[in-house]
Amino acid sequence: MSNLLEKNSNALIVGSIIQGRYQVLNKIKGGALSRTYLVQDMGQPNEPKCVLKHYPYNKEIPRLYKTNMRLFLKEAKHLQVLSIHPQIPRLIDYFGITDQGWYLIQELVDGRLLNNMLPMSEYSDNCWSCQDVAQFIHDVCEPLQFIHSQKIIHCDLKPNNIIRRTTDDQIVLIDFGSAQYIPGFQTNEDASVASLRTKITVSPSGYLAPEQLNGQPHACSDFYALGIIAIQAWTGLDPARMKKDSHTGEVVWDQYVRIDDPEACRQLVSIIARMVQPDISDRYRHARDLLADLDVFLNTFSVEEETQLDYNHVSFEDSSLFKKPEEDLFDPDSLDDIEIPVPESFSKETFIQEDLFKQTLIQEDILDFGHDELSMLPDVGEGEEENEQDAEQQTTSAELTPEMQSTPFKRRKKGVMGLPMVAVCSVAVVVANALLITFGLQHLIGGMVASDTPQLDDDFQRAQDAYAQGAFEEAIAIAKAIPQQSPAYESAQTTVTQWEQEWQAKQQKVEAIAAAHAAGDWQAVVADGKSLGENPLFRAKVGTMIEEAQFQIDVAAYQRVQKAFELATAYDFTTALNTLKEAPPNSKFANVIDEKVTEYEGKKQVRAQYNLQQAVNHAEAREFSEAVAFLKQIPPEASQSELAQIKIIEYTEKQQIKEAYERWSAAQAQNKAARFVKNSPMAMDQTAQPAAMVSQVNPGLMWQNIA
């Protein structure tokens, strides 16, 4: 394994393969105690690229060996817990190699480092808007809330440890090498590692909170770092050069804010100022409090302002608002020069071309006087008849039918006698009024029909808008008020019936959600909530219930994921999979659960093959009981299960034969021992004892022997 490291260096050789699986492609960055590399996982079918973090083993400094080992184990422990969150890179593998060091393998996140998205200085043109800054803080707070819920502090939030993922545009937090437990939740070993990490942590100046520089980080230390990053994005100020008030210790920054919305800027300045307070008691204590304030702030941008017409600044020259008078309308004083042609007889239907009313039908019933009545009027001022007509009258005559032009009635100028002229004028006025009344009525009727249809369509649209906004009664009232002669009447009535049915169904759905919520049936609450739609009225009634149900589902799913992880750590992948399958659906951990199911299914097959191999190894050593124990760990659904069952029968029989042989051997050994004991001198003395006892009964014999 010595060929993994460069000569006289702890750096990994580019191109080397670690554990026969991870090929080193190039170095990403290096630190005081660890280095990060881009590697390719050749153990997976698609050979994805991953991130490898190497804690090297330094032979020259034995004391550093234990330090690196503790830091490696600490980070691996943190990542085991945190990497189930979708906005934290997944932990793929971790291991140690003798004389080489320790390795962490994590998912590679495809995206942009935040450091490449920030403005270069306060004079930069790409400083963020207040809305973008608030949304960024909100996006970071979501995974940060999960991290703090696990009693862990990131301790190293900075632009180089924040990535905007390309696939879903979500924020991803990386590098938990400096992470520590919240004070009061660490063990003695954790405290020693935390103390060491505090002494050796190297982070860009300006992002670390004052208490963190003193070796006493808190959860709100992450809020401080996040606030400094937000200030940098909003103003372009360099965190290392930010000034602090000599009396209060507060960061001086709000005077550099670019104000695009005064009220919004004031609110966001207040939020960020609380995040970067030097005293931890003045900061946000929990991520949920910060998220709540950000939600209120961001909601102000989602409300569309209604446009109102300011009548004090309306231009009367705007033709879209007011229509100017027609310039070519007749001047009342010019009527004296207009020749009014009169036909000898009107046909049943006569069309007259006129500037204001084109091709308007004139009925004979309206004008029932003829040429005879007009001819009875005496002529006045003979010799004063005009031979020439003005251009306008010629145009008008040209537009009349030839039949009408045959007997024109010419308008005379004023003569000496005024009465006949008055009569002529009266007739002209009557004719003009009749024409205007006819044209006007027909135009008015047509205009009423034409203008009424859009109005009715507008009413139907207003009803639909009211229903969409949850104003059910108002929508029904508007729709039912549409008259029967309206083209929208039938559609309105059909829609009203549909609305009433939908409304009743949604009312029942609201009652079902309330009942399910009371019974703790969270899945039913969420499912019915989705089918309820986005109606504001119903959402206001059950929105809180749906949110609580979703929270309970997420908590239950998270607990299952944690339990499955513990089981998988103990190589009990079957129980781990069953635990994951018991997790409630529709949780925010659904993608994590699917990934873990796929991962554990593969590891279960690997574990089954491992158990089968161990069984064979023990059988070769004639340890059939141990072999059977490994075979029984192979789950029935594994591909090795059929072979395992056959081997269980075989090894059980061999174990029985072995035990029988052992019993026979033990019996033979016992018999052999018995024969050996029987033929021994001691055994012979023991056989002579009865005779001695008899001799004791018959003392005479003994005396004889003595004699």
pLDDT of 632 strictly over 60:
yes
The answer on 190 and 70 residing in a single domain is no
Q: Tell me which of 129-138, 360-369, 663-672 is least confident.
A: 360-369
Neighbours of 571 (CB within 10 A): 15
Note the pLDDT tens digit of each residue in 149-198. 999 999 999 999 999 999 999 999 999 988 999 987 765 555 555 554 44
3-state secondary structure of 484: coil
The answer to whether residue 379 is domain-embedded is yes
The answer on 416 and 361 residing in a single domain is yes
Looking at the structure of the chain, the number of domains it has is 3
The answer on 244 and 190 residing in a single domain is yes
The answer on 169 and 47 residing in a single domain is no
pLDDT of 547 reads 82
Q: Residue 69 belongs to a domain with what CATH number?
A: 3.30.200.20
Q: Where are the beta strands (DSSP E) in 385-495?
A: 408-409
Note the pLDDT tens digit of each residue in 324-369. 344 444 444 444 444 444 444 444 333 333 343 344 343 434 444 4
Structure tokens at 594: 């699917």
Q: Which of 452, 483, 509 is the last residue of a domain?
A: 452
Q: Which of 429, 452, 475 is the last residue of a domain?
A: 452
The answer to whether residue 706 is domain-embedded is no
The answer to whether residue 348 is domain-embedded is yes
Segment (H or E) for 526: helix 522-531
Neighbours of 671 (CB within 10 A): 10
The answer on 87 and 29 residing in a single domain is yes
pLDDT of 23 reads 94
The answer on 290 and 163 residing in a single domain is yes
The answer on 116 and 96 residing in a single domain is no
Q: Tell me which of 111-125, 644-658, 681-695 is least confident.
A: 681-695
The whole-angstrom distance between residue 560's C-alpha and the CA centroid of its chain comes to 23
Q: Please report which confidence band the pLDDT of residue 21 belongs to, taking 50, 70 and 90 as the band edges.
A: very high
Q: Which of 196, 20, 161, 172 is nearest to 103 (CA)?
A: 20
Q: Please report which confidence band the pLDDT of residue 538 belongs to, taking 50, 70 and 90 as the band edges.
A: low
The answer on 284 and 137 residing in a single domain is yes
Q: What is the DSSP string of 610-655?
A: HHHHHHHHHHHTT-HHHHHHHHHTS-TTSTTHHHHHHHHHHHHHHH
The answer to whether residue 686 is domain-embedded is no
Q: Tell me which of 251-265, 285-299, 421-435 is least confident.
A: 421-435
The answer on 124 and 76 residing in a single domain is no
* pLDDT higher at 12 or 5: 12
Q: Please report which confidence band the pLDDT of residue 427 belongs to, taking 50, 70 and 90 as the band edges.
A: low
Q: Which of 396, 427, 452 is the last residue of a domain?
A: 452
The answer to whether residue 604 is domain-embedded is no
The whole-model pTM stands at 0.47
Q: Residue 278 belongs to a domain with what CATH number?
A: 1.10.510.10
The answer on 275 and 356 residing in a single domain is no
> Whole-number mean pLDDT of the chain?
74
What percentage of the chain reaches a pLDDT higher than 90?
26
The answer on 57 and 121 residing in a single domain is no
The answer on 197 and 48 residing in a single domain is no
Mean pLDDT within 540-567 = 84
pLDDT of 587 reads 85
pLDDT of 133 reads 96
The answer to whether residue 386 is domain-embedded is yes
State the residue range of the domain holding 55. Answer: 2-108
pLDDT of 300 reads 81
The answer to whether residue 589 is domain-embedded is no
Q: Tell me which of 430-444, 503-517, 613-627 is least confident.
A: 430-444
How many residues does this entry show for the chain? 707
The answer to whether residue 481 is domain-embedded is no
Structure tokens at 221: 């230390």
